[in-house]
Amino acid sequence: MVAVYRISAIAVMVEVAIQSMSVVFGIAGQGKWIQEGGVLDKAVIEAREFVFPEVIGYLIHGLNGTILIPLTALILLVSSFFTKVPGAVKWASLVLLAVAVQITLGMSASGLPVLGALHGLNALLLLGAAFYAARLVRRSRTADQGDRLASRA
C-alpha cells in the first residue's frame, strides 16, 4: 500500500503539471487563432467545435481536472489508511481538500475572475501537498530500512 500511496502522490504531481501545460497550450492556440482573424464569442464557445486545434488543451484540462485528479486523490486517501506511516492520512486529506478547492475555484472563476487567480495559486499548494506526501513515505521507508539494517547488525 505504501507503493500505491507513493505512486498516486507522484501521479497527482504529474497531473498538476499536465494541467498547467494544457491550459496554457489552449490559451496560446486561442491567441494565435485570434491573431489570424478568429473571433471568439459565447456562440462560438457553445458550438463546442475545434475552431483551433489547441482547444484540445482546454478539453484535457477539463477532463483531467474533474475526473482523473479527483480519482487519483481519492486513491491516495484510501491507500493512506493502510500505509501505517504517521502523517500519511493527514497529507492525503490535504491533497484531496486542495483538489476540491481547486475544482470549486475553477468552476466559479468565470463568474468572479479573481477566483481564477486563486485557482492558479492553489495549484501550487496542491503540488506542494502531493510532493510532501510522496516524500513522506519515501522518508519513512528509508527509515524502515534503516531500522531493519540496524536490527540485523
Partner 1 sequence: MGMGYAEHGGHGGQVAGGRSVTSLVADPRRPADVSVTLAAGKERFRLPSGRAFDGFTLNGGSPGPVIRATLGQLVEVRLVNGSVPDGITLHWHGVDVPNAADGVAGVTQDAVRIGEEHVYRFIADQAGTFWYHSHQMSHEQVRGGLLGALVVTPPEQPAETVDVVALVHLYDGVRTVNGNEGDVRVTVPPGKRARVRIVNTDNGPMSAWVGGASYRLVAVDGTDLNRPDPVRDTGVLVTAGGRADVEVTMPEDGSPVRVHLGGTTAVVLGSKSYDAPVVRPPATTLDLLSYGMRASLGFDPNRPDRRFDYDIGRRPGFLRGRPGLWWTVNGSIFPDVPMFVVNEGDVVRMRISNHSGDVHPMHLHGHHAVVLSRNGIPAAGSPWWVDSLNVADGESYEIAFVADNPGIWMDHCHNLPHAAEGLVAHLMYEGVTTPFMIGGTEGNEPE
| Residue ranges binding partner 1 (CB under 8 A) | 37-39, 41-51, 66, 107-108, 110-111
CA–CA separation, 99 vs 121, rounded Å? Answer: 12
Rounded least distance, CB 45 to partner 1, Å: 6
- Rg for the chain (alpha carbons), in Å? 20
Rounded least distance, CB 50 to partner 1, Å: 7
Sign of CA dihedral 19, 22, 26, 31: positive
Nearer of residues 104 and 140 to partner 1, judged by Cβ: 104
Nearer of residues 21 and 44 to partner 1, judged by Cβ: 44
Rounded least distance, CB 59 to partner 1, Å: 14
Q: 75, 77, 94, 84: which is closest to 132 by C-alpha?
A: 94
DSSP string computed for 76-105: HHHHHHHH--TTHHHHHHHHHHHHHHHHHH
Nearer of residues 27 and 45 to partner 1, judged by Cβ: 45
Rounded least distance, CB 34 to partner 1, Å: 10
Nearer of residues 39 and 149 to partner 1, judged by Cβ: 39
